[in-house]
């Protein structure tokens, strides 16, 4: 117990029974002082409460921004999907124009028909065939000669 020299000298002058009581009182004061030092003061508590409140508000703002970002991400994915389909159709249309020439040049095939078609791949489940057609080579008819899936 860290007490100054003056208190110790005064205790030496007191009769033993009173001295024992005074020392016990000083010990109790020391225990309470240490306990008080280990507890949070009201000011510290209020400061901490303010910080926690600010953090809670910041978290709410973050959650709101994240919610908005998720919504925008969904919109972007939808728009990108629509753009992908558009580009796919443009490519298919160009393929319709270019395939007859390329098949004639590279394989000697005269195209008679090109079309889009849906094929049932399982009960009530269809898959789009982007380009399907018929053509002749050396007078022989080839049914469903070209199948190209661009998507």
Q: What is the pLDDT along the chain (151 residues), one digit of tens a residue?
A: 456 778 888 888 889 888 888 888 888 888 888 777 777 778 888 888 999 999 999 999 999 999 999 999 999 999 998 898 888 788 888 888 898 999 899 989 998 888 888 888 899 998 888 788 888 999 888 766 555 554 5
Interatomic CA distance for residues 112 and 101, integer angstroms: 12
What's the pLDDT at 64? 96
Ranges assigned E (strand) in 30-151? 110-122, 125-137, 140-142, 147-148
What's the pLDDT at 144? 63
Contact 138, 109 (CB under 8 A): no
Task: Report which of 129, 128, 146, 127 is spatially closest to residue 137, judged by C-alpha positions.
Answer: 146
What's the pLDDT at 36? 74
What's the pLDDT at 134? 87
Interatomic CA distance for residues 6 and 148, integer angstroms: 103
Q: Which two tokens stand for residue 148?
A: 């190209």
Contact 97, 131 (CB under 8 A): no
Helical axes 16-38 vs 5-12, angle rounded to 10° = 150
Task: Report which of 136, 131, 149 is spatially closest to residue 104, judged by C-alpha positions.
Answer: 136
């Amino acid at each position: 117990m860290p007490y100054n020299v003056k208190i110790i000298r005064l205790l030496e002058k007191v009769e033993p029974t009173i001295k024992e009581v005074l020392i016990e009182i000083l010990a109790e004061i020391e225990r309470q002082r240490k306990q008080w030092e280990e507890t949070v003061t009201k000011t510290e508590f209020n400061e901490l409460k303010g910080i926690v409140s600010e953090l809670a508000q910041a978290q709410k703002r973050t959650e709101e921004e994240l919610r908005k970002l998720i919504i925008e991400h969904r919109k972007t994915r939808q728009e990108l999907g629509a753009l992908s389909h558009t580009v796919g159709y443009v490519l298919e249309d160009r393929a319709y124009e270019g395939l007859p020439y390329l098949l004639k040049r590279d394989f000697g095939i005269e195209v008679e028909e090109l079309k889009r078609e849906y094929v049932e791949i399982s009960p009530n489940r269809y898959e789009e065939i982007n380009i399907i057609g018929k053509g002749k080579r050396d007078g022989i008819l080839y049914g469903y000669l070209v199948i190209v899936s661009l998507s």
